[in-house]
Amino acid sequence: MAVSVPASGSGVQRDLLAERRRRPIRPDAPVLLVGRSAWWEDNGLDEAMRIADWSFITADDVARARWLASIRRVSLVVVGGDHEFRWRAVDEIRDLTDVPVAVLADDADEVVTLIKAGVDAVCPVSEPSRTMLARLAAVFRRADRRRGPGVRYLRARELQVDLWTRMCTLAGEPLALSPTEFDLLTFLMSRPSVTLPVTTIVRRVWDPAPSDGRNALRIIVNRVRRKLGDEASDPSYIASVRGSGYRFVANVTEEADALTDHAVNADVTPLLGSIAELADALATATDDRAAADTLVRLVDAAGIADGLAVFRIDGKRMRLMAARRMSESWMDKVADGIPLDPSFASAQSVLSGEVVQFADVRAVKKQYRSTVDWIAADGFRACHFVPIAVAGSTWGHLGLVRRTESPLDALTMAYLRSLCSTFALHLAGRS
């Protein structure tokens, strides 16, 4: 049977090629550059990445590279430096992550042995940085991006939902839900504090929709409430909105996969060391603003965020105390403070006293419209806000934003809480 093959000059092929050329190739998570900063500056790769709008983080030594690969999702690891450093980095990082690893080296005899050692690509150091960037783009473009952690868990009060295994627990005990009950619960939890019309819920939970969708929904909601120990008159989870529909009233935190493929090898020594470093550095802080600057410096050095800030409550507003890598336009917006308005996710964390975290700010536009308006334009997606309490009262919060659409995992969240607790103890000691 003959197969018809379009001519190379066909209009369809030309249109496809033109579309591919127009579409920018960018990693959906930061690139991890392993090697001294001066080395990347000399070969120009870091500047090429900035021009191409690639997000990247650097690790001057192998220990820090292992730490970053353990706690943060990255799209690609690129190793540079001399022969000894390259081989030590490959040996210690290759088994720690499933993302592609590329090495920059000019020795042709080394290429085969590096590939056998598990390296996915070897790029010549001597070639132009633009060409090198194109080679790296080809490496991560073909990688299986599903390996990166996305939203796996939804947490609200004592309720935890595992979206991957479709398992639920309440106060640590298994919660048996039917498929329809699970779909209803997760749909409501994915849009907390937003009133969802009956018709919208029925359309999303049932396929096909039952003949009497309103009554079917009422029955399922009552079943879920009973299993949660929830009261319709005083709901902790699901509230009825007369004449409209239902609303999930508890604060919901999205959490990434626990990096199960990394967890066994994760090195928490740098984590513990940075907490001790913060405690030592705070001892010399002269005031609250200096202490806040110390906190953001340590968190920034951990490499877990693309931008971060600390705010303090001042009456009905929150005032900026310190920030790192936030845009000038954002700094202008917060110059007069942020109102304690729940349309700001950061304000909600302070008002509720709970962590507010989500993978994509655009998905919570109805709930946190002000946050979306203020940070989405800068390309930030995942947000994480940790309230800081001093002597039983909320003092302010630490906020982190990232350009990847993935929330933090449990290990990193615990790390941030520990830093904030250390910071709060220092403030309490000063008062």
For residue 1, give Cα distances in angstroms to 4, 6, 342.
10, 16, 65
Long-range contacts of 335-339 (CB under 8 A, 24+ apart): 338/311
- Residues of the chain with pLDDT > 90, as a percent, come to 40
pLDDT digits (tens, 9 = 90+) for 40-63: 888 888 888 888 888 888 889 888
Share the mean pLDDT of the chain.
Answer: 84
> Per DSSP, what are the bridge partners of residue 388?
396
Contact yes or no for 29/74 (Cβ under 8 A): yes
| pLDDT at residue 5, rounded to an integer | 40
Contact yes or no for 74/54 (Cβ under 8 A): no
Distance, CA of 313 to CA of 310 (rounded, Å):
10
Tokens at residue 400, please?
A: 């982190």
Residue 264 vs residue 348, higher pLDDT:
348
Nearest C-alpha neighbor of 252 from the set 376, 161, 147: 161
| Res 149 pLDDT > 60 | no
Q: How far apart are the first and last CA of the chain?
A: 85
| pLDDT at residue 255, rounded to an integer | 85
Question: Going from the N-terminus, what domains does the chain have, and what CATH number goes with each?
Answer: 11-147 (3.40.50.2300), 158-249 (1.10.10.10), 260-430 (3.30.450.40)
> What H or E segment, with its residue span, contains residue 401?
strand 393-402
| pLDDT at residue 431, rounded to an integer | 67
> Per DSSP, what are the bridge partners of residue 56?
31
Distance, CA of 130 to CA of 137 (rounded, Å):
11
Mean predicted confidence (pLDDT) in 293-306: 89
> What H or E segment, with its residue span, contains residue 276?
helix 269-282
Distance, CA of 353 to CA of 271 (rounded, Å):
24
Phi, psi of 389 (to 5 degrees): -110, 135
Tokens at residue 158, please?
A: 């004592």
Mean predicted confidence (pLDDT) in 93-118: 83
Residue type at 256 in one-letter notation: A
Mean predicted confidence (pLDDT) in 303-309: 89
Tokens 């210690």 sit on residue? 92
Contact yes or no for 286/265 (Cβ under 8 A): no
> What H or E segment, with its residue span, contains residue 142?
none
List all residues 6 or more positions away from 319 whose beta carbon is below 8 Å from its beta carbon. 311, 312, 313, 337
Mean predicted confidence (pLDDT) in 205-214: 85
Residues 220-250: b if buried by 16+ CB within 10 A, e if exposed: bbeebbebbebeeeebbbbbbeeeebbbbbb
**CA trace torsion 255, 257, 260, 261 (10° rounding):** -130
Contact yes or no for 85/35 (Cβ under 8 A): yes
Distance, CA of 207 to CA of 193 (rounded, Å):
25
Q: Which of 9-13, 207-211, 269-273 has the highest mean pLDDT?
A: 207-211
Whether the pTM exceeds 0.85: the reply is no
Distance, CA of 271 to CA of 215 (rounded, Å):
52
Distance, CA of 347 to CA of 365 (rounded, Å):
15
List all residues 6 or more positions away from 116 whose beta carbon is below 8 Å from its beta carbon. none
Residue type at 299 in one-letter notation: V
Tokens at residue 405, please?
A: 């659409």
Distance, CA of 230 to CA of 232 (rounded, Å):
7
| pLDDT at residue 315, rounded to an integer | 94
> What H or E segment, with its residue span, contains residue 258?
none
pLDDT digits (tens, 9 = 90+) for 230-286: 999 999 999 999 888 999 999 898 888 754 444 445 556 667 788 889 999 999 999
Q: Is 431 helix (H, G, I), strand (E, B) or coil?
A: coil
Distance, CA of 322 to CA of 244 (rounded, Å):
42
